[in-house]
Amino acid sequence: MSGKSTTGVSNEEFWRELGIDIEKHDELMKMLPVIYQNVYLTQANRPKNIAYFDNFIADIHGARPKEVFERKKRGDKVIGAFCAYFPEEVVLAAGAVPLILCGGADFPVADAEKILPRNTCPLIKSSFGFRTSKTCPYFLSADLLVGETTCGGKKKMYELLNEYTPTYTLHLPHKKDDAEARKLWLNEVKLFKNEIEEITGSRITYDKLKEAILRVNRKREVLRRLYNTRKASPPPISGKDVLLIMQLAFFDEVDRFVQKTEELINELEGRIKRGEGVFPKDAPRILVSGTPMTVPNWKLHDIIEKSGAVVVAEESCTGTRYFSELVEPDSGSVNIQLKNLAERYLHINCACFTPNAERPEDVVRLAKEYKADGVVYYVLQFCHEFNIEFAKVERALKEEGIPVIKIETDYSQSDTGQLKTRLETFIEILRASKVKPRGAVPAGKPLASVKVPVGAEIA
Ligand code: BJ8
């Protein structure tokens, strides 16, 4: 957000070189510090090692994109993507820079709506708008963008994106249990490797891929460890702070990110030993489940935590779906490594799959594992996949007596008041009942109407 970079050359010079629309970009950069101050810097008792991530955000369009741009100038390729299905290991193995670029800001949506229909998911509009409005240095650094056939909106957006930056779309089949579909996906991963080899001019060998798999495994493992700290009561870190770290995992250099997150975890483990937390021990614990939240989408967590509850985990691609599975690195040949990679990626239980029975099971398991008092099911507007899948997730939670509320929203602030009222009521019910959760609250239904069965077991 500042105009100076850490490497001496002014950020503005670098932005101009990249082709950033400086005037528009200035508008964006004026808004971010205000939002960050209000959402993040007002929190009490934050761990001191969160400072690295605060500084990253403070210079999000400066230091890191400049580092990426300097690599690009030295001949390394930059490969951007939009999905947890992006096999970043392959990109790292070729010596290129992987970045996950999904937009989480409302700012570029108006630009996107000049081309995309208004009734499109905000993540799609924001991602597209960042490219067309020329306000994102990460986007403008990319030599290749990688899409995937997950949802219909993304798939069609990538065709248009290709008119701005070359875009390669991975064909992800939607029936993960089907043998033919698995073969197709494996072949897609192999073709992707060939594409990356061609664009980088670098051959992906067994050793290079092994090293890349190990590095990304370490990133996923450190995130797992970070999430484990949230199982403590009280949790030693806010949900908002963990969400921020998750979001930055897609931008930062892998090894530095691992080191900085480890330093933070060591501090958090000390807090747990001393029984220190950021919320009172009796604050209701919330599992957020649903569509991803990318920088700077902090809206839901902010409302929940300002209402007195604490988010203890996210069943999301900016959460557990990103790190729960690792890849076996040592498998004898590049072909087996690619097979392991393809298999690992098919374990991400995205709502674009049919059937997707594992996802409701995951939500219930995670709610139990993180001792959540309730689940907030988060759907980005016009996302039919996650919206319709709610029916199954709700049923599974209901069977286990875990309360859930569905929140459907976009990136604007226009519905903040209404969301606040609904979430405060939900949290009050969780707090007041002190019973094993049991009802589900569909969107729009007044929470006061939730009936708690007589004779309910006291938690
Ligand atoms: S693997 S969740 S990151 S697709 S919210 S754009 S699905 S309309 S983001 Fe996702 Fe990959 Fe799946 Fe994960 Fe479409 Fe829905 Fe928008 Fe979405």
- 209-244 pLDDT per residue, tens: 999 999 999 999 999 999 999 999 999 999 999 999
| Nearby residues of 101 by Cβ (< 8 Å), 6 or more positions away | 80, 81, 82, 127, 130, 136, 138, 139, 142, 145, 250
Residue 230: inside a domain: no
**Ligand 1 proximity of 378 Cβ (cutoff 6 Å):** no
**Ligand 1 proximity of 124 Cβ (cutoff 6 Å):** yes
Report whether 130 contacts 103 (CB < 8 A).
yes
Q: Look at residue 450 and tell me whether its pLDDT is greater than 60.
A: no
Distance 112 CA to ligand 1 centre (A): 18
CA nearest to 170, candidates 76, 84, 68 = 84
When pLDDT is averaged across residues 88-112 and rounded to a whole number, the result is 97
Residue nearest to ligand 1 atom 3, measured at CA: 83
How do residues 394-405 score in pLDDT, each as one tens digit? 999 999 999 999
Distance 316 CA to ligand 1 centre (A): 10
Residue 420: inside a domain: no
Ligand 1 atom nearest the C-alpha of 351 is 12
What pLDDT shows up at residue 35? Answer: 96
Distance 345 CA to ligand 1 centre (A): 14
How do residues 235-290 score in pLDDT, each as one tens digit? 999 999 999 999 999 999 999 999 999 999 999 999 999 999 999 999 999 999 99
Distance 319 CA to ligand 1 centre (A): 13
Question: Which residue segment(s) compose the domain that 97 sits in?
Answer: 11-221
**Ligand 1 proximity of 348 Cβ (cutoff 6 Å):** yes
Residue 247: inside a domain: no
CA nearest to 298, candidates 222, 373, 246, 356 = 246
Give the helix ranges, DSSP H, for 230-333: 239-248, 254-274, 299-306, 320-323
Distance 150 CA to ligand 1 centre (A): 7
Farthest CA pair distance, the chain: 69
Ligand 1 atom nearest the C-alpha of 120 is 8
Residue 88: inside a domain: yes
d(CA 433, CA 239): 23
When pLDDT is averaged across residues 284-306 and rounded to a whole number, the result is 98
How does the average pLDDT of the chain come out, rounded?
A: 93
**Ligand 1 proximity of 292 Cβ (cutoff 6 Å):** yes
Q: What percent of the chain has pLDDT over 90?
A: 91
Report whether 347 contacts 380 (CB < 8 A).
no
Residue 168: inside a domain: yes
**Ligand 1 proximity of 123 Cβ (cutoff 6 Å):** yes
> Is the Cα dihedral 82, 83, 86, 92 positive or negative?
positive
Ligand 1 atom nearest the C-alpha of 152 is 14
**Ligand 1 proximity of 383 Cβ (cutoff 6 Å):** yes
Residue 448: inside a domain: no
Residue 51: inside a domain: yes
Q: What percent of the chain has pLDDT over 70?
A: 93
Distance 83 CA to ligand 1 centre (A): 7
Q: What is the pTM of this model?
A: 0.93
Task: For residue 123, give the CATH number of its domain.
Answer: 3.40.50.11890
Distance 77 CA to ligand 1 centre (A): 25
Question: In the chain, how many domains are there?
Answer: 1
Query: Higher pLDDT residue, 343 or 435?
Result: 343
Pocket test residue of 126, 315, 381, 383 for ligand 1, highest count of atoms within 8 A of CB: 383
Residue 94: inside a domain: yes
